[in-house]
A and B are shown apart, each in its own frame.
Chain A
Amino acid sequence: MTGTHVNCGYVPLVDSAPLIIARELRFAADEGINLNLLRQPSWSALRDLLALGHLDAAHILSPMPVAMSLGLGGFPAKIDALMVLSVNGNVIGVSSRVAKRMRDAGWNGAFDDPCAVSHALLSTADGPLRVGVPFPFSMHRLLFEYWLKADPLCRDDSYQIVTTPPPLMAETVGAGELDVFCVGEPWGSVAVDAGVAELILPGVAIWGFAPEKVLGVRRDWADGEEDTCRALMRAVYRAAAWLDKPDNQVLATEILARSEHLDLPDHAIYHAISGEIVTRPNGAPVETAHFLKFHQNAANFPWRSQAGWIAQQIGLPDGADIATAEACFRSDLYRQHLGPIGVDMPGASAKVEGAMRYPTAVASTKGHMILGPDGFFDGAIFDFDVDQR
């Protein structure tokens, strides 16, 4: 096989799909790269291999490049996000025991009411809730804490975070070690299928447009291997565009399920791809708008303001940290490498996060593009240009 070899790490989740499609449908080969996908067992393993140069690129959690660039956890390393691979796609669930308690207290099982569900969860708790999330620096944790802390009943000791690898989430809930969890698909559905949990809220109900996974590379690689970097971004961009076409959903599910890279059952994948989520054992699917986006509404654009929000939520609200974080979401490279193939670009590289309650047309290089909705459940807006500079 000819082509430049690119070693790309990933964790087997539905949202690694753009990389798998880029390889399987030969978007990568068309760009002259041989995309070698290397499955990793944990986020920390993936991070270390990327930081030490064993991997050229990786499917990483959106807070990881921010945390690494700010020297939090593991090796401090200059890791950049070239583009966003997926927006949204997480679910929050509770153990069957907690679900029963919530129902007894009057919760009606609705999957779209953040305030009612946090109240039901906290008012029935009989001690600190043990909350499973995949990684300390994950959108799962940031969204969960943002949501729960907004409830007036939430105190410092209302919950404790327990990092739990996604494939072990259902088992850990089943063993009675967790009360609540926030995880990416298919692992929420797997816990429901196993009869040990109910889903109470999709991530999209907390933040309408949360960057979930990004394509991460070392900054020196992005600068030093410019041609390969450009080819990789174009291949992944085309794969993401293909994935988000409704007509391709069934085929995409088949390819992902058959692919040696994912090793998950069809039905577990289809929930996330279609946005039809089964929230309790033997329940009917609940249609969830914007559940997971790979491409629409400029989903792949790495907004500087998204990195700013992440830094602030990690607990680094001062201007210098926000600026460092924003610099690792490489909207400049996105424009430089994808502009020439006709990708529509927004006028600005930062937006006011949370300002769009509805899909909104904004000025772009080709006239206009539709962004959002990107609202937060509590109506908050984050304008880092005004707040921080």
Chain B
Amino acid sequence: MAKKIKIVVVEPDRDRACEIIDALSEGGWGDATVLAETTSLARRLSEIDPDLVLIDLAHPSRDMLEQLSLASDARGRPVAMFVDQSDDEMTKAAIAAGLSAYVVDGLQKARIKPVLETAIARFQMMSQMRSELDAAKQALEDRKTIDRAKGLLMRARSVNEDEAYNLLRKTAMDQGRKVIDVAQSLVTAAELLG
């Protein structure tokens, strides 16, 4: 087999990092290191000297990697980002999944592609899980706010819970707003008025 590809995954979240490393190991890429610390990223990367760096698109330290790939000579060595600048499909897939990859040393496209495909698939799965989790959290928060608004109405207008909710819903419909927005305004106003 040809020389192993040395991979660095920049990811402060331990669980997410493990997910990626597991996926890579399953695919046969065992030489993967996780960097969680970001203040010394540039120094650590030059010590490890990886062939490929994977980083979350939403990670602010991505800008550091730009510099590393530009370091030698701006014009002579264009940034090899994602697989290849010309591979639009792969790049778009990576971006949609929330992943950036930097090829630090000129690796061949054919060798990077399967690594990236694995990583993209795992990123997609993780971001889907994350957005479902966020949605569940938000729904819980919304319910708490609506419950508080209902409580305020029940006390102020001496109505029961169903009537309070209907009042919220009717106001929301009349104003073309969401129930949660009306409830939020009511809670905020009540806080302001003490």
Binary contact track A43-77/B, C-beta < 8 Å → 1, others 0: 11100110010100000000000000001111110
A324 to chain B, nearest CB (A): 14
User: Which positions 2-23 of chain A face chain B at CB distance < 8 Å?
Assistant: none
Q: With an 8 A cutoff between CB atoms, is A315 at the interface? A: yes
Do residues B75 and A72 form an inter-chain contact, with CB atoms below 8 A? yes
Given contacts A41-B59, A42-B62, A44-B100, contact A162 B67 (CB under 8 A): yes
Q: With an 8 A cutoff between CB atoms, is B42 at the interface? A: yes
Interface size class of A (residues with CB under 8 A): 20 to 34
Q: Which residue of A lies closest to B66 (CB)?
A: A44
Report the separation of the CA atoms of residues A162 and B57 in the bound assembly, to the nearest whole angstrom.
20
Do residues A136 and B95 form an inter-chain contact, with CB atoms below 8 A? no
Out of A54, A75, A171, name the residue touching B39 (CB < 8 Å). A171
Binary contact track B100-117/A, C-beta < 8 Å → 1, others 0: 100000000000000000
Q: Which residue of A lies closest to B79 (CB)?
A: A73
Residues of chain A with a CB closer than 8 A to B145's CB: none
Out of A76, A165, A315, name the residue touching B64 (CB < 8 Å). A165
Residues of chain B with a CB closer than 8 A to A136's CB: 66-67, 70
Q: With an 8 A cutoff between CB atoms, is A202 at the interface? A: no
Q: With an 8 A cutoff between CB atoms, is A145 at the interface? A: no
Please, how many residues of chain B have a CB less than 8 angstroms from a CB on the other chain? 27
Do residues B74 and A72 form an inter-chain contact, with CB atoms below 8 A? yes
Report the separation of the CA atoms of residues A105 and B162 in the bound assembly, to the nearest whole angstrom.
76
User: Which positions 30-68 of chain B face chain A at CB distance < 8 Å?
Assistant: 38-40, 42-43, 57-67
Do residues B63 and A134 form an inter-chain contact, with CB atoms below 8 A? yes
Q: Which residue of B lies closest to A72 (CB)?
A: B74
Do residues B67 and A172 form an inter-chain contact, with CB atoms below 8 A? no
Binary contact track B118-145/A, C-beta < 8 Å → 1, others 0: 0000000000000000000000000000
Out of A44, A135, A315, name the residue touching B74 (CB < 8 Å). A315
B90 to chain A, nearest CB (A): 12
Residues of chain B with a CB closer than 8 A to A48's CB: 57, 95, 100
Report the separation of the CA atoms of residues A131 and B155 in the bound assembly, to the nearest whole angstrom.
61
Residues of chain A with a CB closer than 8 A to B64's CB: 162-165
Do residues B67 and A161 form an inter-chain contact, with CB atoms below 8 A? yes
Q: With an 8 A cutoff between CB atoms, is A150 at the interface? A: no
Q: With an 8 A cutoff between CB atoms, is A250 at the interface? A: no
Do residues A162 and B42 form an inter-chain contact, with CB atoms below 8 A? yes
Do residues B58 and A41 form an inter-chain contact, with CB atoms below 8 A? yes
Do residues A168 and B85 form an inter-chain contact, with CB atoms below 8 A? no
Residues of chain A with a CB closer than 8 A to B27's CB: none
Q: With an 8 A cutoff between CB atoms, is A220 at the interface? A: no
Do residues B63 and A43 form an inter-chain contact, with CB atoms below 8 A? yes
Q: With an 8 A cutoff between CB atoms, is A177 at the interface? A: yes
Report the separation of the CA atoms of residues A175 and B74 in the bound assembly, to the nearest whole angstrom.
29
Residues of chain A with a CB closer than 8 A to B60's CB: 41-42, 165, 167-168
A291 to chain B, nearest CB (A): 24
Residues of chain B with a CB closer than 8 A to A162's CB: 42, 64, 67
Do residues B63 and A175 form an inter-chain contact, with CB atoms below 8 A? no
Q: With an 8 A cutoff between CB atoms, is A314 at the interface? A: yes
Do residues B63 and A76 form an inter-chain contact, with CB atoms below 8 A? no
Report the separation of the CA atoms of residues A142 and B75 in the bound assembly, to the nearest whole angstrom.
17
Q: Which residue of A lies closest to B68 (CB)?
A: A163
Residues of chain B with a CB closer than 8 A to A74's CB: 66, 79, 81
Do residues A165 and B63 form an inter-chain contact, with CB atoms below 8 A? yes
Report the separation of the CA atoms of residues A44 and B100 in the bound assembly, to the nearest whole angstrom.
10
Residues of chain B with a CB closer than 8 A to A316's CB: 75
Residues of chain B with a CB closer than 8 A to A164's CB: 63-64
Q: Which residue of B lies closest to A76 (CB)?
A: B85
Report the separation of the CA atoms of residues A315 and B70 in the bound assembly, to the nearest whole angstrom.
13
Q: Which residue of B lies closest to A134 (CB)?
A: B63
Residues of chain A with a CB closer than 8 A to B74's CB: 72-73, 314-315
Given contacts A45-B57, A315-B74, contact A73 B39 (CB under 8 A): no
Report the separation of the CA atoms of residues A316 and B67 in the bound assembly, to the nearest whole angstrom.
18
Residues of chain B with a CB closer than 8 A to A172's CB: 39
Report the separation of the CA atoms of residues A42 and B61 in the bound assembly, to the nearest whole angstrom.
7
Report the separation of the CA atoms of residues A171 and B100 in the bound assembly, to the nearest whole angstrom.
24
Residues of chain B with a CB closer than 8 A to A73's CB: 66, 70, 74, 78-79
Residues of chain A with a CB closer than 8 A to B42's CB: 162-163
B188 to chain A, nearest CB (A): 13
Report the separation of the CA atoms of residues A134 and B61 in the bound assembly, to the nearest whole angstrom.
10
Subset of 8 A-B contacts with CB under 8 Å: A44-B63, A44-B100, A45-B58, A49-B95, A52-B92, A72-B78, A136-B70, A164-B64
A-to-B contact residues, CB < 8 Å = 41-45, 48-49, 52, 54, 71-76, 134-136, 161-165, 167-168, 171-172, 175, 177, 314-316
Apart from A43-B66, A73-B66, A168-B38, what 4 extra A-B contacts exist at CB < 8 Å?
A: A42-B62, A72-B74, A164-B63, A314-B74
B-to-A contact residues, CB < 8 Å = 38-40, 42-43, 57-67, 70, 74-75, 78-79, 81, 85, 91-92, 95, 100
Q: Which 5 A-B pairs have the closest CB atoms?
A: A165-B60, A163-B67, A42-B62, A175-B39, A41-B60
